[in-house]
Amino acid sequence: MTGDRALILDFGGVVTRTLFETHDITERTLGLPPGSLTWRGPFDPSSDPLWVAMHNREITERDYWLARTGEVGRMVGEEWNEMQTFVRRARGAEPELVLRPEARDAILQVKAAGLKLAILSNELDLFYGVEFRRRFPLIELFDVIVDATYTKILKPDPRAYELVLSELALPREACVFVDDQKKNIEGAEAVRLPHVHFDVTQPAEGYARALAMLGL
Domain count, the chain: 2
Whether residue 1 is contained in a domain is answered as no
Domain that holds residue 58: 23-94
Domain end (from 76, 94, 112): 94
Do 69 and 167 fall into the same domain?
no
Do 103 and 90 fall into the same domain?
no
Global confidence as pTM? 0.89
Q: What is the mean pLDDT of residues 32-50?
A: 95
Do 115 and 76 fall into the same domain?
no
pLDDT digits (tens, 9 = 90+) for 182-200: 999 999 999 999 999 999 9
Domain end (from 65, 94, 123): 94
Q: What is the mean pLDDT of residues 60-64?
A: 87
Whether residue 141 is contained in a domain is answered as yes
Do 10 and 49 fall into the same domain?
no
Domain end (from 94, 128, 156): 94
Nearest to 23 by CA among 69, 94, 104, 90: 90
Q: What is the mean pLDDT of residues 8-24?
A: 95
Do 103 and 206 fall into the same domain?
yes
Do 90 and 112 fall into the same domain?
no
| pLDDT over 90 at 175, yes or no | yes
pLDDT digits (tens, 9 = 90+) for 145-167: 999 999 999 999 999 999 999 99
7 strand-pairing partners: 117, 176
| Average pLDDT of every residue of the chain | 94
Do 113 and 188 fall into the same domain?
yes
How far is the C-alpha of 172 from the C-alpha of 5, rounded, in Å?
9
CATH number where 129 lies: 3.40.50.1000
Do 60 and 129 fall into the same domain?
no
pLDDT at 2: 63
